[in-house]
Structure 1
Amino acid sequence: MPKNKTHSGAKKRFRVTGSGKIMHERRNKRHLLEHKPTKRKRRLSKDVVLSSSEEKTVKRLLGK
């Protein structure tokens, strides 16, 4: 039986922690940063846990 391939788009966007949670970067941190407050940009820099409704889909794409 052939191996399952990891979805290459998903592996660039998500990472799995040691406890099995899926982390991702927040949106709105790529461009047009000049007019956004520093406080908002700092908050957007941190990774967050993926919502539970999307967790099953992303785990399948990552081959977990």
Structure 2
Amino acid sequence: MPKLKSKSGAKKRFRLTGTGKVVMNQAGMRHMLRRRSKSMKRKARGTTIMGAADSRIIKRNFLPYA
């Protein structure tokens, strides 16, 4: 059985915590920032933990050995 390759884009965008959760950057901070509220921009800073359903896809299909 051949080895599975990790998706290059996923390697750059996601990483796993020690307990196996997927960490990702918050969305919505690229452009059109003047129309977003200050509180939304504050909440969108930094990283967040991905939801369970999406992280299952990332771990199974995109980062099989991480």
- Which category describes the TM-score, using the shorter chain as reference length? 0.7 to 0.9
What percent identity do the matched residue pairs reach?
38
* Aligned AA (1:16): L
Aligned length: 64
Partner of 2:14: 14
* Aligned AA (1:9): G
* Aligned AA (1:62): L
The secondary structure found in structure 1 opposite 2:29 is coil
CA RMSD of aligned residues (A): 1.7
Deviation at 1:40, TM superposition (A): 1.3
**Structure 1 unaligned residues grouped into runs of 5+:** none
**Structure 2 unaligned residues grouped into runs of 5+:** none
Q: Within 2, Cα distance between the matches of 1:55 and 1:36?
A: 27
TM-score using structure 1 length: 0.78
TM-score using structure 2 length: 0.76
Off by >2 Å, runs of 4+ in structure 1: 1-4
* Aligned AA (2:24): H
